């Protein structure tokens, strides 16, 4: 991985102020500009849901997708109006330009320190999953707040209706490989590692009915093979590590998820928090965890992509075939057959 010096532009859309700061970015071997436009929540929320296709650099531009696999131009629904005056809410919404594959989360990427004191980003991995993901969605809705969901491709093909609920509730959907393979595994060839990333993207897009997710990616087990970090840079996909890991997958109960999270958060004062909507204890912990964030004066930052990810047509086509095979059709009857009139 090459360290590349380049400028970071931080733009405040509202208030006509412009600040420019210089910094260092590790973005694989790709030099590029990262622009983060930051604006407050509220009316700006809808503006953040831009779905215009991002122009990819010529070298990385995939062949034009056939009509059947092109992204569905659709405005993501905004979050429902907040009816709870005591809710945690959303303090700030930032828009991320993922050109060159910027990395976030100080556990691995220490260049982009954009969170202010007492700001957090909530992230949820490994879903969608029955019961636990809907419980996480309810807890977020009750507190009028939001997070990023890093979905596993296979899980998205099992439970597309649940992933659609995540998207339709106004949350950001990113990807987390096709089958949660650890990409540092020496048995995998470079092509197999790329397949894991690309098939995961196409699977999430398929599950969302052809709507491309955000170009936000998290490596399974936070294992970052340098050549895949570089590859994501060429694909203009942002990489998400974390600032603090809740270790919810190891927790024996909900209380432990809360205790570990706040022990770390109170020390750091801010950060991107790693959790799993896949896990029962996390779903159980979230209502209290969100209440404690509010009580502790923390504010949630929503991270939005400036443009959706550009999936590769060959993976979209392959996924279309895979998704039709009975071997992966493990969706419950209720998600396949719905009574619409009786
Ligand atoms: Zn995971």
164-179 mean pLDDT: 98
The confidence score (pLDDT) of residue 39 equals 33
Angle, in degrees to the nearest 10, between helices 280-295 and 132-142:
10
1-16 mean pLDDT: 33
The confidence score (pLDDT) of residue 127 equals 97
Q: Does 324 score more than 60 pLDDT? A: yes
Distance CA 199, CA 178 (A): 6
Distance CA 263, CA 247 (A): 12
Average pLDDT over the chain, rounded to an integer = 81
The confidence score (pLDDT) of residue 75 equals 83
Percent of the chain past pLDDT 90, that is, above it, reads 68
Catalytic hit among 155, 171, 180, 276: 276
pTM summary value: 0.76
The confidence score (pLDDT) of residue 145 equals 98
2-18 mean pLDDT: 33
Q: Does 329 score more than 80 pLDDT? A: no
∠ CA(211), CA(214), CA(215), 5° rounding?
125
The confidence score (pLDDT) of residue 331 equals 64
Question: pLDDT confidence of 325, banded at 50, 70, 90?
Answer: low
The confidence score (pLDDT) of residue 72 equals 57
The backbone torsions φ and ψ at residue 122, rounded to the nearest 5 degrees and listed phi first, read -90, 125
Distance CA 141, CA 80 (A): 8
The better pLDDT of the pair 95, 39 is held by: 95
Q: Does 259 score more than 90 pLDDT? A: yes
Residue 150: closest CA among 119, 169, 171? 171
The confidence score (pLDDT) of residue 223 equals 96
SS3 331: coil
The confidence score (pLDDT) of residue 14 equals 34
Using CA atoms, how far residue 9 sits from 64, 85, 119, in Å, is 30, 34, 20
Instruction: Name the least confident of 57-66, 79-88, 219-228, 276-285.
Output: 57-66
Q: How far is ligand 1, taken at its centre, from the CA of residue 292, in Å? A: 25
Q: How far is ligand 1, taken at its centre, from the CA of residue 150, in Å? A: 8
Q: Is 125 a catalytic residue?
A: yes
Distance CA 67, CA 320 (A): 14
Q: Which residues pair with 27 in a beta bridge?
A: 29
The confidence score (pLDDT) of residue 338 equals 74
Q: Does 156 score more than 90 pLDDT? A: yes
Question: pLDDT confidence of 272, banded at 50, 70, 90?
Answer: very high
Residue 215: closest CA among 189, 244, 245, 239? 239
Question: pLDDT confidence of 341, banded at 50, 70, 90?
Answer: confident
Q: How far is ligand 1, taken at its centre, from the CA of residue 275, in Å? A: 9
83-111 mean pLDDT: 94
SS3 47: helix
Q: Does 301 score more than 70 pLDDT? A: yes
**Cβ within 8 Å of residue 214, ≥6 positions away:** 148, 172, 173, 174, 238, 304, 305, 308, 309
Catalytic hit among 97, 125, 126, 195: 125
Condensed to tens digits (0 to 9), the pLDDT of residues 230-242 reads 999 999 999 999 9
60-85 mean pLDDT: 64
Q: Does 199 score more than 50 pLDDT? A: yes
Q: How far is ligand 1, taken at its centre, from the CA of residue 249, in Å? A: 9
SS3 108: coil
For the domain bounded by 36-45+86-325, which CATH number is listed? Answer: 3.20.20.370
280-306 mean pLDDT: 97
Q: Does 117 score more than 50 pLDDT? A: yes
* Full DSSP string of 191-250: HHHHHHHHHHHHHHHHHTTS----SEE--GGG---HHHHHHHHHTT-EEE--SEE--TTT
Q: Does 214 score more than 50 pLDDT? A: yes
Residue 243: closest CA among 225, 266, 226, 259? 266
Domain coordinates in residue numbering, the chain: 36-45+86-325
Q: Does 328 score more than 70 pLDDT? A: no
Q: How far is ligand 1, taken at its centre, from the CA of residue 183, in Å? A: 12
Q: Is 171 a catalytic residue?
A: no
């Amino acid at each position: 991985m090459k360290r590349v010096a380049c400028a970071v532009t931080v733009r405040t859309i509202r208030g006509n102020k412009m600040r420019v700061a210089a910094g260092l970015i590790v973005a694989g071997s790709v030099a590029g500009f990262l622009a983060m436009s930051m604006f407050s929540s509220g009316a700006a929320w809808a503006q953040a849901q831009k779905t215009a296709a991002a122009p990819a650099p010529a070298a990385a531009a995939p062949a034009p997708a056939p009509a059947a696999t092109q992204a569905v131009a659709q405005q993501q629904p905004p979050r429902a109006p907040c009816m709870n005056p005591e809710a945690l809410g959303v303090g700030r919404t930032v828009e991320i330009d993922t050109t060159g594959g910027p990395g976030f989360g100080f556990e691995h990427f220490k260049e982009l320190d954009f969170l202010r004191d007492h700001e957090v980003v909530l992230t949820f991995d490994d879903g969608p999953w029955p019961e636990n993901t809907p419980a996480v969605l309810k807890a977020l809705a009750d507190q009028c707040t939001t997070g990023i969901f890093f979905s596993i491709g296979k899980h998205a093909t099992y439970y597309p209706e649940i992933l659609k609920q995540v998207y339709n509730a106004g949350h950001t959907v990113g990807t987390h490989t096709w089958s949660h393979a650890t990409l540092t595994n020496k048995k995998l060839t470079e092509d197999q590692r790329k397949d894991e990333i690309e098939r995961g993207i196409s699977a999430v897009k398929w599950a969302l009915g052809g709507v491309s997710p955000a170009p936000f990616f998290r490596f399974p087990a936070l294992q970052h093979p340098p050549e895949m970090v570089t590859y994501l840079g060429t694909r203009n996909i942002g990489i998400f590590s974390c600032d603090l890991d809740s270790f919810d997958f190891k927790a024996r109960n909900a209380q432990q998820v809360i205790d570990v999270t706040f022990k770390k958060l109170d020390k750091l004062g801010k950060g991107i928090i790693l959790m799993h909507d896949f896990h029962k204890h996390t779903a159980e912990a979230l209502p209290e965890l969100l209440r404690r964030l509010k009580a502790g004066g923390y504010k949630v930052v929503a991270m939005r992509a400036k443009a959706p990810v550009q999936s590769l047509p060959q993976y979209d086509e392959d996924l279309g075939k895979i998704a039709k095979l009975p071997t992966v059709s493990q969706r419950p009857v209720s998600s396949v057959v719905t009574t619409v009139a009786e």
